[in-house]
Amino acid sequence: MTTEVVKEKIRTFIQGYIQVPELKDDEDYFASRLVNSMFAMQLVLFVEKEFAVQVESEDLEISNFNSVNSISGLVARKNGVGHS
């Protein structure tokens, strides 16, 4: 799966929860208060299921989940591929 496909899946999931006309890949939706802690749990579950990765306790840093780019990077690292 290409990085762009991963990002598109992430964008689609996030946009199902927040109402913004356009979600930028580097936009921190937690800092913008567009989402809450319940969404964070759903996001972790989505990442695990959609991308077949195991999110470990050391991965549960906001910096791994606060933007499309950061989630895509986490998925790439968990799959052992470079992130671009």
pLDDT digits (tens, 9 = 90+) for 4-45: 999 999 999 999 988 888 889 999 998 888 888 899 999 999
pLDDT recorded at residue 74: 98
Residue 28 burial class via C-beta count within 10 angstroms: exposed 0-12, middle 13-18, buried 19 and up: middle
How many Å apart are CA 8 and CA 2, to the nearest integer?
10
Structure tokens of 31? 């800092």
* Annotated domain spans of the chain: 3-78
**Residue of 17, 77, 81 lying closest to 46 (CA atoms):** 17
pLDDT band at 80; cut points 50, 70, 90: confident
Q: 3-78: what fold?
A: 1.10.1200
pLDDT band at 83; cut points 50, 70, 90: low
pLDDT recorded at residue 84: 47
